[in-house]
Structure 1
C-alpha cells in the first residue's frame, strides 16, 4: 500500500475512533465515517472489506494499543505503582476533559454495546482489556494478590472513566487514584 493509501486508511480509522468513542458502535454509521474522514466511499470498502465490524475492530485495537503504549511506558518506569496509576488517571482525565467529555475509554462503550451480540467485536475488546491487564499484572508481580489487584485497578479505572463522563467531572478519577494509593502504600 502506498503512502496515500495508508493516509486514507488512517483517516478512516481516526474518524471511526472519534465517532465510536462519542456515539458508540450503534451510533456510528459508515456514511458518518466517510464524511468525517473525507475519504471516498470506495476507499472504505477497499481498506475494510469486512465492513463496519472490521473498521470498528481495527479502530478499537489501534486506540487500545495507543493507551497500552502509554500505560506500558509509565508501568516500565521506576515510579511506585500508585504513582503510575495516578498518572494514568490524570492523563485519561485530561483526555476526557479536553474532548468535552466525549473521549473516555476507547473500548468501554463498544464493549458494553456489543459484548452479547457481536462475537468479533467482543473479542477485540477482550484482547485490548487483557493487554492492559497484562501490563498492570507485570508491574504488580511479586505483590500478594497481584493478579487480582491488576483486575481490580483496571475495573476501577474503567468505572471511574464512566462516572467522570456521566458527571462531567474529574472527581471520580481523583477519588479512585486516592483509594488505589491507600491500597498500594
Structure 2
C-alpha cells in the first residue's frame, strides 16, 4: 500500500531533520522529499512546517521507544546497550554517516518550542523505559533513573561524534565503558 501525503510528509521530515537539523530542513526540501504539494502540507498540518516537524519528532521518538522496549525485553543490561549500539552503527554506516538522530535535531530547534518539547518528551520516555528495565534487572529508584538518563546522553553524544568523525568508535567507547557499569549490582 502506498503511503498517503500525511505519512510521506512525516517520513520526509524525519529524514531531513536526521540529515540537516530542523533549520536545514527547508519547506521546499520537505515538499520535494515527501513528493507532496504545499496544499497537502497545510491540509494535514495547518500551522505549517513547525507542526509537521513536531509530529515527525513524536513519531521518531515513538519508533525509538519501540526499539528500546524490544531490546530491554530480554537479556542483561549490557546486552541491551550492545543491541542499541549495533542498531545505531548500522544506521550510521548505511547512511554514510549523514543520518543521525532526528530527536537531537529537534532538541536543538530553539525557535520552535513545540518541536523542542516533543524532543524533550521523547528523551524522557526513553529514559523512563530504560529506567524501568534497569529496575526489573535489580537496580532501584533514583540510581536506575540517573543511570538510564546517563546512558541516553552517552548514546546520543556518541551518535553526534560518530557523524562528525565518520567513525563508530565513539559508540564502541560507550559499550566498553558503560557495559560493565550497567551489569554491576548497584550500577556503580
Fold shared per TM-score above 0.5: yes
- Aligned pairs for 1:73-88 (under 5 A) are 73-77=70-74, 79-88=75-84
TM-score, normalising length: structure 2: 0.90
Residue of structure 2 equivalent to 1:58: 55
> Which 5+ residue runs of structure 2 have no aligned equivalent?
184-188
- Aligned pairs for 1:3-18 (under 5 A) are 7-18=4-15
Structure 1 distance, partners of 2:98, 2:61, is 16
Per the TM alignment, residue 31 of structure 1 is displaced from its structure 2 partner at its CA by 1.2
Runs of 4+ in 1 over 4 A off after TM superposition: none
- Aligned pairs for 1:94-173 (under 5 A) are 94-112=90-108, 114-115=109-110, 117-141=111-135, 142-144=138-140, 145-173=143-171
> Which 5+ residue runs of structure 1 have no aligned equivalent?
none
Q: Secondary structure at the match of 2:5?
A: helix
Pairs aligned (count): 179
1:26 aligns with 2:23: yes
TM-score, normalising length: structure 1: 0.92
Q: Secondary structure at the match of 1:24?
A: helix
CA RMSD between the two structures? 1.5
